[in-house]
Structure 1
């Protein structure tokens, strides 16, 4: 099992490039199910979840080619024949995004059998909103031995109001509605850039969609979709993680190939803490402000609020700020598993319900720590970058699910980080 060994103390200097967004790429790969023609996706990140999605689509009968060499961040998918419309448990058990094949499968084939999904253990992420939406569109959904099975002759347009904002639910039902008979209106939709990115691909495939990126989306169903070529958005969470890496180490780091507009909530908080930022069209430069970091409270919200996927990384930064920071987690109920590991490194963090209180500044010390989920892993790397001594991070396979060769990128800007072992490709 792979580990990271990180020696703290080096400011990060130079330019670091952001990869494509995993959370955009996964639904866009699932969207290829909706057509018999080829879908080509560019700026695909090389992370474990993409490989899992490739295996999933291939198991259903799709032809999936992940590029190599100069085309290493491109994939072509052709679902001419879907001989086995089943998302098998042995494939999807490690990935929450497996639920995203439910909508396109039933829209395309009239039947879908999907294992209840896995992923990070950060709290319940129920699929009931997907089911309610499909039932409103005429599908019959049953649950049997860990699998959801949905059947329909053809989906019908419907008026669907989400009980709560759901990114995967919005994406899943958006894909289903593209081939439904008639108009579907969704209200209380997720507004994340990943939803907008998916809608852009679907539109390129011939879908008729209005309002993506707002709380109300209208879809006029069509009889069929065609192939398309689409470039995946930059990963806003990876970009945010790098911004914090530059800030926490007191470096001078240019985060390139990103979309600053998608980072507005984080940028505002960093500036509130005294971090100097130069924001360009497709890059953000982060520099030490010269003085100590100041505490700033955050409360995670749906986009465009502060993202839950940046909460753990921000908490690592808060350990280096003067004063008391309050972190309130409103999206997932079990997303403070990194707290105990940060405290092992010398942080002063207490948790009460959905609120964590960080008292800084703490002089972090190296330690052996355990990665519990994808973003907690990133937080521990950030803490280790400023800790005194050499830290060992275990179970970094979580990191490989969502960050493309993180240790190589960080080494390129001066971090002392190396990988021990090899479970995901050659490093």
Structure 2
């Protein structure tokens, strides 16, 4: 069993360099399957989700050499489009392999997407887009099969703005015959990053970053080098860590433009923000004030940041209301915060957060990566010790969260304990050998 132990910490201070974006790295790795030559990806974070997608890629024949945050990928020997159903069931972004492999192999088999548990996240827009390009879906108990003899460009309107669907359809469309027009698409920086990568490899994608993307299909993609953008969600979480502890933290190696909605809300709450070309510093001169926030699609306030923001607002001088229009059920962290004395009022799609809360340490569980950072922030200001299980979820998005928080002055450590039964078995085995 593994858990994090956190005791109340003084103001966090210092600098932290932000790693590459998880939400860019995963589709970038899958997109390499489209290429015919070697690709080098830089600034790829060493997290469990990246390790899993690399395992899946290796299973189907991709050669991968890893050197710190640089990956050299050779897709020339990919021999299969059968994605391990068990592995993909633990990895939501496995659906990117459908878009990346369908044009070359005409048939892709994938387990149903897994990942964080915070409400229904259907893939209906993925299905709609790929079907418009000529694909057919067959669904089975624990996997689905996508088939297309030929992909042909189409005019596609997404009923719901979805970053994942936008990227997946884009991957399939770059090798489709003719022109594809994607309407009402996601404008996230991660969508732009993947589009830039595809263009660098020889694709023709225009309009990424707007709600209209036009793709002229090409016959092949070559190779090259691409650097993933920094993770705006990790950066935002550390800015909130400064605010909740009354500290002073500089996040560097970032693109401040990607965090405009986040820093705007932090300023509204009374957090002091300083920006440079590649950094943001956050600190507080006085107590922060309650605010109202609506999480929505980019460039609005990110749903991935509403959970750590919820913890931050517990120390505000007045109550706050947070509404999540993207994932209305994404408030698992609030149930755990209430175990610590938060007294958050939870309704479908929104929460009301009372200010001036005094939290007490407790055993709590991180049900997803963003819930995990929310609980860590709460543990930093709680009396006594906070114990957080579900560490594996946090590791899906953070390279070494303990090391990073310790460098800023946090009292946090990772505890690993062998179950008593395992210890007894080991002792018995030792005695029998003797």
* Pairing 1:254–2:216 present: no
> Which 4+ runs in 1 deviate beyond 2 A?
none
Residues 5 and 385, structure 2, Cα contact 8 Å, conserved in 1: yes
CA distance in 1, matches of 2:150, 2:74: 22
Determine the C-alpha separation between the residues in 2 that align with 1:139 and 1:90.
Answer: 23
Q: CA deviation at 1:266?
A: 0.8
Indicate the larger mover: 127-136 or 96-105: 127-136
The aligned counterpart of 2:41 is 41
Residue 22 of structure 1 aligns with which residue?
Answer: 22
Asked if 1:194 is matched to 2:190, the reply is yes
Which residue does the alignment assign to 1:293? 288
Matches of 2:141 and 2:249 in 1, distance apart?
A: 50
Cα deviation digits, residues 283-312 of structure 1 (max 9, x gap)? 1111112x2110011111000001000011
Normalised to the residue count of structure 1, the TM-score between the two structures is 0.96
Paired position in structure 2 for 1:420? 415
TM alignment of 1:81-100, pairs within 5 A: 81-100=77-96
The reply on whether 1:165 has 2:161 as its aligned counterpart is yes
Structure 2 residue aligned with 1:311: 306
Tell me the residue number matched to 1:10: 10
Deviations 1:225-253 (A, max 9, x none): 00110000000000000000111111111
Question: Counterpart of 2:74?
Answer: 78
Contact 1:9–1:388 under 8 Å retained in 2? no
Are the counterparts in 2 of residues 107 and 180 from structure 1 also a CA contact under 8 Å? yes
Number of the residue aligned with 1:150 = 146
Q: Which moved more, 1:104-113 or 1:139-148?
A: 139-148
Per the TM alignment, residue 422 of structure 1 is displaced from its structure 2 partner at its CA by 8.3
Question: Which one is further off, 254-263 or 217-226?
Answer: 254-263
What corresponds to 1:359 in structure 2?
354
User: Is the 1:348–1:360 contact (alpha carbons within 8 Å) kept by the matching residues of 2?
Assistant: no
Structure 1 distance, partners of 2:85, 2:106, is 20
Q: How does 1:376-395 map to 2 (within 5 A)?
A: 376-395=371-390
Say which one has the larger Rg.
Answer: 2
Match of 1:64 in 2: 64
Stretches of structure 2 lacking an aligned partner (at least 5 in a row): 419-434
Counterpart of 1:237? 233
Deviation of 1:144 (Å): 2.1
SS in 1 for 2:9: coil
- In 2: Cα distance, 1:228 partner to 1:356 partner: 46
* Alpha-carbon contact 2:329-2:348 (below 8 Å) kept: no
Q: Aligned match of 1:277 in 258, 273, 277?
A: 273
TM-score (norm 2): 0.95
Aligned partner of 1:341 in structure 2 is 336
Structure-2 separation of matches of 1:334 and 1:355: 8
How many Å separate the matches in 2 of 1:421 and 1:380?
Answer: 19
Q: In 2, distance between residues paired with 1:99 and 1:139? A: 14
Contact 2:36 2:220 in 1 (8 A): no
Instruction: Give the equivalent residue in structure 2 for 1:408.
Output: 403
Q: Is the 8 A contact 1:319 1:348 kept in 2?
A: no
CA–CA distance in 2 between the matches of 1:86 and 1:23?
23
Q: Deviations over 1:358-394 (max 9, x none)?
A: 0111011111111111100110000111112221111
What is the deviation of 1:81? 2.4
Number of matched residues?
A: 418
The one of 380, 394, 403 equivalent to 1:399 is: 394
Question: Does 1:212 pair with 2:212?
Answer: no
Cα distance in 1 for residues equivalent to 2:17 and 2:74: 30
1:87-134 alpha-carbon deviations (Å, 9 max, x no partner): 222111221111111111102221111111100111111112111111
Question: In structure 2, what is the Cα distance between the partners aligned to 1:45 and 1:361?
Answer: 36
In 1, the alpha carbon distance for the partners of 2:126 and 2:350 equals: 29
2:103 — aligned with what? 107
**SS of equivalent to 1:294:** coil
Give the secondary structure class of the aligned counterpart of 1:309.
helix
- Per-residue deviation at 1:151? 1.6
Aligned CA RMSD, in angstroms, stands at: 1.2
